[in-house]
Structure 1
């Protein structure tokens, strides 16, 4: 292994010399790392060609909109779903891009003047293929048939069992009037699972590809009703046979996160707590996330897929419809000030629609997970973080270090496990990779002066290779404690926040992910009653406060924290949820950072019985799931009822 950082390479896909002065500024560090390790985190890597297309999400400059971008480009190298023409003035869109896009972006001043920033999605499976029928300069908005009016609830999640009787009307017909599944194959392709052969779904069974989205499969309410009628036996829908026919094998699992969430948002309740309200009768539009999103809990595809899902829901509603959308998903890293691309896009959509759209999002479940640090670096002072990366982690791990504007004097040094001496410290504007004897990256540090991940200050990304793999072709790095030191060489104090990205395993899955965390001797892990909140007198840099869903810090969305329905002596809040008010509110913070949810809803029954009851995959079944993912749909339900 080298004792020093090696230069960042010239990207094989982008053609950008990432080692050139200023090349990493205002770019997505995850794209830079992906090119540095040849997309190994997406199961390309050594000996494999990079993807043919990259999915990205784009923010345009204030003077531009999506039609302007379409007119300045070609579908040969940039493809945008047609749905992004539906909202005039929208400055955000997703796209699939080829190598030539980056050539044009570097060399075409007009194109570059239109694009403010872009972020990488998840380039696996069909996300790395061309779209069907993308935007062209001649494209015009074409309303979809069966537009919904009145109150409409939109759901974006995984595992949505639409035939469950919780989502049927009084006549036994589905209330899901439009259903879009984003996956395209029988056996999905995601980090941690790479089938040898992905069989395309049958459009005669799964439904056609929606023309305005360009991928996935769509079912109308009439399609669902017809299929349910075909598989009704003696007045009862054979849900197993129905989902088998429609190629929804994931819905054969007894528990699905999305079904539980959807039942809380718009179901009829259970025998102990029946529900009869506007939300239990309104029309539904459902977007089932591609399983690459569900399995990759780090959120690599979330920016693209969630924004596409929002646009699909809006495109299936009339201009006069009142739309509430629940997104019970999220990640841990990011700026936490509402300036991520996806959060800014949601904020603009809500503003452009003038009150017709409301979005509920969970505040997050990582309050006790030790994935956040916050401290002030005094002049000539330093703070050391101990990042515990676990063995048998078959996915990459990421640590984001966020600094405010004017923090140019902060240097970052990294000491891998088992190394007494750190790698040479890096200053702002620098980047590099630490490689093994074969030249494959074990980790990378990308430290730009500005970043595409947020608009305020900057973010240094420390990315690590997996610590284990069953494939010889996969480069693995050391597990144990990585020591990360931030040193302030300047004359003024500087704040920083460190966020470890989410890396856990979704319900019922086995991806080989293992969540890393921070360690500090002063952090209270005693389990005593006072140990579950931060205390201002405790000098540990590890803070629960500020641990927040990175999807939920926008200005116009509604973030929802979690309560106990019956707190008794164990306290009022779910232990994993951010609190309101903030117990650590006096601690200095970067400008604009959001730490407190707008509202609170129950997601635990009591201190001993975590979670709340909701629907299982099959009609009549009831399951208990915990998390602020269960609090957000209760707020979405209230929003629908209050329209």
Structure 2
């Protein structure tokens, strides 16, 4: 079969500038197939390129129920701005604002009247939670009187009810939550609650809609575990934390809306972060009407965001999330507002074979094996980023060979794409920041290897080959990342992730164990990973590979060992010329994500009261780090240092890590934090900051 017979054609058209992800999705997904409530909704049609500041001509959109994109650049100055952007409605008709208000130039434009916000007496710090399936009736989110500690909760996918000030969904406040708690607890806040009825009335569980939220109807929910570890508490054992830490939550729409590979996730992340920042300030103004103009204002706020994507530029000069956060934090400094910090997990891709790196000499080429698994019902994506020592745009040609085909590499212009065959396409990514930083980037997209809804758009499973040829006159450094790939439904297993098939990658050692990138040679820890080819180093998720957030890895509480799945930074390899490409070379610090070898996971709240489940993952280490930062805020405010100067999240986590590391009593071989372990553990291992009802045997 012939390969790469297509021609490079522009995919960026005047007036309708799409990102490569959105362009691919629009061509290969029928909106009618993803109908929402009652068959009347449509799946989100969005452009991640909008976050790159590419304007969208709304007149080109003929269906009013599809989308209005998000733009974070001022159309005149082209400078990166915040809040002066159209808000993106999600594609469920009954979730949208019927007034179709899409532009919010000031914070007040999308906030309720001050009198509508509840009083927050005694609150000194705010914890923000951005997640799915958050159990608002759970006891861990209640105060001593049984009332809710959640000040506000925005449910993005809920039926619209806000009468104008929100673009979509519904936002409820503490007084409304308390009223519903009384209603479903026999008229008493401390009464026995009917959580199922509470969740159904609030829309937290919807068993009627095909893709409705239903995580809280089971035993475990991601959001319940995260919010318990980050902000949940027993008011009897942690009275100060219960009384002084308020919670603002944003419930993201289901995975089916932001994509099984997170195609549109970054849009929701940015809007959710902005919402928490503006609400936190609104609560401060509501509760401090006597504040003097020009004085420092606002609650110190830390947000846990346990999401991310593996593939991306991994650069704070190109990726848009760090740019947004830099702009937001600068605005807050200029307006003398308090700290707004974000904590995110390192990721769980350390052993997933999704990261590869190569040096290609002039005139040479390399062939990268890419294994598509059978039975995969989700699209597959690989991002390729190249740079050279001269910091000029590399001349890197690309070709894709099917399991039974050959390929001849070619180079496309930015903003063009070519079809390898039906269901396989290569995009040359465009964007002013990419060329300005001397980068070249490709995106390879394939249809699923099995599909029940579009059998004509499937590709063969097996070993595909990505052929890269350096046509320039200087060495070229190339990094390949396979995008995150998850089932659309949380319990589904139909999204089988592809991986790099590399003969030099050691998957199992001589004892049958899966290596994690470092090993103990009897005297010291050494790196045991490929220098080139498929590597574990560099698997930090792209959303945290910068210094605008605190990045948290996971370790095992019983002996201090790094969690085998916790993603690895580039470590000492990131020094020198690679520093520009890898602004973050290791996590900020690590917190427990496992109890022990025999006790995997961390115990925390299940989907309902009375249920505690152990779950593994760096998302939960990140939640503990968020709690540690909130505790640091309270300690600073009560120490006499002044309420004006809470430090950044890294300023709390890194000193805590070094201090706890000195006091740790882990046995060999994890006694000392050596260089080979820093790549995964960062500045050190912080102790579990949340008191538990019953400590497990053997914990230090």
Q: Is the 8 A contact 2:409 2:468 kept in 1?
A: no
Q: Distance in 2 between matches of 1:177 and 1:315?
A: 13
Q: Distance in 1 between matches of 2:258 and 2:251?
A: 13
Change over 3 Å in CA distance of 1:506–1:552 after alignment to 2: farther
Q: Is the 8 A contact 1:153 1:640 kept in 2?
A: yes
- Tell me the equivalent position of 1:331: 309
Structure 2 residue 195 is matched with structure 1 residue 239: yes
Which SS does the other structure have where 2:507 is aligned? coil
Which SS does the other structure have where 1:173 is aligned? coil
Q: Matches of residues 137-152 of structure 1 in structure 2 within 5 Å?
A: 141-142=108-109, 143-144=111-112, 145-146=116-117, 150-152=124-126
Which SS does the other structure have where 1:531 is aligned? coil
1:434-492, CA deviations, whole angstroms, 9 ceiling, x for partnerless residues? 365xxxx4111112465678973232000111111112465111211110121112221
Which SS does the other structure have where 1:629 is aligned? helix
Q: In the TM superposition, what is the alpha-carbon distance from 1:252 to its structure 2 partner?
A: 1.5
- Tell me the equivalent position of 2:385: 402
Moved more, 552-561 or 620-629: 552-561
Q: Matches of residues 10-409 of structure 1 in structure 2 within 5 Å?
A: 15-16=13-14, 28-34=19-25, 37=27, 39=29, 54=46, 58=50, 96-97=67-68, 111=75, 114=78, 124-125=91-92, 132-134=99-101, 141-142=108-109, 143-144=111-112, 145-146=116-117, 150-184=124-158, 201=159, 208-209=161-162, 211-233=164-186, 235-249=191-205, 250=214, 251-268=216-233, 278=241, 282-292=245-255, 296-317=259-280, 318=284, 319-338=297-316, 339-354=318-333, 355-404=338-387, 405-409=391-395
Q: Distance in 2 between matches of 1:427 and 1:127?
A: 42
Q: In the TM superposition, what is the alpha-carbon distance from 1:582 to its structure 2 partner?
A: 2.8
Which SS does the other structure have where 1:236 is aligned? coil
Q: Is the 8 A contact 1:434 1:444 kept in 2?
A: yes
- Tell me the equivalent position of 2:417: 432
Q: Which one of 601, 605, 609 corresponds to residue 591 of structure 2?
A: 601
Q: Is the 8 A contact 2:425 2:444 kept in 1?
A: yes
Change over 3 Å in CA distance of 1:381–1:138 after alignment to 2: closer
Q: Is the 8 A contact 1:96 1:130 kept in 2?
A: no
Q: Which one of 467, 472, 495 corresponds to residue 477 of structure 2?
A: 495
Q: Distance in 1 between matches of 2:373 and 2:244?
A: 47
Q: TM-score, normalised by structure 1?
A: 0.77
Q: In the TM superposition, what is the alpha-carbon distance from 1:56 to its structure 2 partner?
A: 5.3
- Tell me the equivalent position of 2:606: 616
Q: Is the 8 A contact 1:5 1:432 kept in 2?
A: no
Change over 3 Å in CA distance of 1:96–1:452 after alignment to 2: farther
Q: In the TM superposition, what is the alpha-carbon distance from 1:553 to its structure 2 partner?
A: 2.1
Q: Distance in 2 between matches of 1:488 and 1:267?
A: 53
1:539-597, CA deviations, whole angstroms, 9 ceiling, x for partnerless residues? 54111111012211232211111111112xxx620111135793755797472313311
Change over 3 Å in CA distance of 1:268–1:597 after alignment to 2: same
- Tell me the equivalent position of 1:632: 622
Q: Distance in 1 between matches of 2:133 and 2:229?
A: 14
Moved more, 571-580 or 594-603: 571-580
- Tell me the equivalent position of 2:545: 553
Q: Distance in 1 between matches of 2:448 and 2:623?
A: 35
Q: Is the 8 A contact 1:178 1:284 kept in 2?
A: yes
Q: Is the 8 A contact 2:303 2:626 kept in 1?
A: yes
Q: In the TM superposition, what is the alpha-carbon distance from 1:269 to its structure 2 partner?
A: 6.5
Q: Which one of 464, 468, 480 corresponds to residue 450 of structure 2?
A: 468
Q: Distance in 1 between matches of 2:192 and 2:620?
A: 29
Q: Is the 8 A contact 1:467 1:476 kept in 2?
A: yes
Q: Is the 8 A contact 1:536 1:586 kept in 2?
A: no
Structure 2 residue 487 is matched with structure 1 residue 531: no
1:597-642, CA deviations, whole angstroms, 9 ceiling, x for partnerless residues? 1111111112343321110011121111111101111111111111
Q: TM-score, normalised by structure 2?
A: 0.72
Change over 3 Å in CA distance of 1:77–1:367 after alignment to 2: same
Moved more, 499-508 or 232-241: 499-508
The structure with the largest strand share of the pair is 1
Q: Distance in 2 between matches of 1:476 and 1:433?
A: 17
Q: Distance in 1 between matches of 2:384 and 2:144?
A: 53
Q: In the TM superposition, what is the alpha-carbon distance from 1:33 to its structure 2 partner?
A: 2.8
State the number of aligned residues: 567
Q: In the TM superposition, what is the alpha-carbon distance from 1:128 to its structure 2 partner?
A: 11
Which protein has greater RCO, CA pairs closer than 8 Å, 6+ apart?
Answer: 1
Moved more, 531-540 or 519-528: 531-540
Q: Is the 8 A contact 2:148 2:178 kept in 1?
A: yes
Structure 2 residue 398 is matched with structure 1 residue 412: yes
Q: Distance in 2 between matches of 1:572 and 1:294?
A: 37
Q: Distance in 2 between matches of 1:497 and 1:120?
A: 33
Q: Distance in 1 between matches of 2:363 and 2:465?
A: 19
The structure with the largest helix share of the pair is 2
Q: Distance in 2 between matches of 1:280 and 1:254?
A: 29
Q: Distance in 1 between matches of 2:587 and 2:246?
A: 28
Q: Is the 8 A contact 1:387 1:482 kept in 2?
A: yes
Q: Is the 8 A contact 1:340 1:455 kept in 2?
A: no
1:80-103, CA deviations, whole angstroms, 9 ceiling, x for partnerless residues? xxxxxxxxxxxxxxx9438xx99x
Which SS does the other structure have where 2:623 is aligned? helix
Unaligned runs of 5+ in 2: 35-41, 206-213, 285-296, 519-526, 634-700
Moved more, 424-433 or 494-503: 424-433
Q: Which one of 414, 427, 437 corresponds to residue 446 of structure 1?
A: 427
Q: Distance in 1 between matches of 2:365 and 2:593?
A: 39
